[in-house]
Structures are given as C-alpha cells and as structure tokens.
C-alpha cells in the first residue's frame, strides 16, 4: 500500500463555492502561514461563450483587509475540455489566466509560493478571484496547500 494520503499530505480548503455570478467574485481567504506552496484549482462549467478571468489576490487579514493582486508571474496549468480528456497542459507563466470562450467544462491550476505575497507588510492571506463574465458560467475553486509539517493534524488556514 502506498503511504500518500491527500488529507495528510496537503491542506484542503474549499475557498470559492460553486455558483454562477456575472459580476465575478472573491473566495474565502486562506492563510499561507504554515504552507510551503499553494495550488488554487478553479473548476468551471462554462454555459455561455464568455471568457472568465481568474487570478489570486492577497490581503493582510482573513476579512480581506488591504486586498491587492499577487504580483509577478506564476505557473499555470489548464484542461480546457475535461469531457474530452484528463490532460493538464502547462501554460505560459503569468499573473492571471483568462479562459477561452468555448462552452466546455474546464480546470485551471495556479501555483502560489509564499514569496509571491507581500510578506514584509503582513500579507499572508490569499483568495481565488473570478472576473466578470456571464451568469450561465458556473465557477468554483479549491485550495490545496503543501504544509511545512505534513501530518494528520494540520493547523487551520481560515482563521
């Protein structure tokens, strides 16, 4: 039996609950204080041929205090047609990602390192964000954190 167990090897946090919203929205803020790396995984069921901008924002408190974009480029992967295959493709490093307009089920992964945040000014909170699109586009995001000290009892990342 393999020893890898996702709940013990990663911090799993639902950050952006599944919803449709034409105006865009920001998910729950997650602390990176005890994490070495974070993967924000967006899942999209695109019901309308309108693109969706995806990024990650940072704040100095879990309430979104001083919210600002995470600067610099980061690694991004996508699967723009989950019904066709399970292949994830590395994209050009960028600060954000905008989907194509194809009416498909999609997955976008954005990798965040603590050094991507403004740690010097207390910005240890991050949240996934979607831009304005169309009310027929369903979006959600899950955050997978790589803990500094893996184990069965991970400290909270939401308070």
- pLDDT bin (cut points 50, 70, 90) of residue 148 is confident
H-helix or E-strand containing 25?
A: strand 25-26
> Going by C-beta distance under 8 Å and a sequence separation of 6 or more, which residues neighbour residue 131?
24, 52, 53, 54, 55, 98
pLDDT digits (tens, 9 = 90+) for 24-68: 999 999 999 989 999 999 999 999 999 999 999 999 999 999 999
How high is the mean pLDDT of the chain?
93
Segments making up each domain of the chain, as ranges: 12-147
Helix (H, G, I), strand (E, B), or coil: what is residue 121?
helix
Q: In what order do the strands lie in the sheet with 137-147?
A: 11-20, 137-147, 35-46, 105-112, 76-79, 89-90
Q: Where are the alpha helices (DSSP H) in 1-83?
A: 6-9
Q: What share of the chain is helix, strand, coil (3-state, %, to 5)?
A: 5, 45, 50
- Lowest-confidence pick of 4-13, 68-77, 108-117: 4-13
Please give the pLDDT value at position 38: 96
Residue 153, classified by CB atoms within 10 Å of its CB into exposed (0-12), middle (13-18) or buried (19+), is exposed
Please give the pLDDT value at position 62: 94
- Please name which of 135, 71, 74 lies closest in space to residue 108, comparing C-alpha atoms: 74
Please give the pLDDT value at position 1: 66
Please give the pLDDT value at position 128: 98
Q: Are 145 and 157 a contacting pair, CB within 8 Å?
A: yes
CATH number belonging to domain 12-147: 2.60.120
Please give the pLDDT value at position 7: 81
- pLDDT bin (cut points 50, 70, 90) of residue 118 is very high
């Amino acid at each position: 039996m393999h020893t890898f167990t996702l709940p013990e090897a990663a911090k799993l946090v639902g950050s952006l609950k599944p919803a449709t919203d034409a105006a865009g929205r920001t998910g729950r803020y997650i602390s990176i204080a005890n994490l070495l790396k974070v993967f924000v995984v967006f899942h999209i069921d695109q019901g309308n041929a309108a693109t969706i901008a995806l990024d990650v924002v940072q704040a100095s408190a879990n309430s979104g205090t001083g919210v600002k974009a995470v600067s610099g480029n980061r690694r991004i992967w996508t699967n723009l047609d989950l019904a066709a295959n399970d292949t994830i493709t590395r994209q050009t490093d960028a600060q954000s990602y905008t989907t194509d307009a194809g009416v498909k089920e999609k997955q976008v992964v954005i990798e965040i390192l603590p050094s991507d945040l403004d740690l010097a000014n207390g910005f240890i909170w991050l949240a996934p964000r979607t831009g304005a699109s169309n009310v027929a586009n369903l979006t959600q995001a899950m955050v997978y954190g790589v803990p500094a000290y893996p184990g069965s009892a991970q400290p909270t990342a939401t308070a």
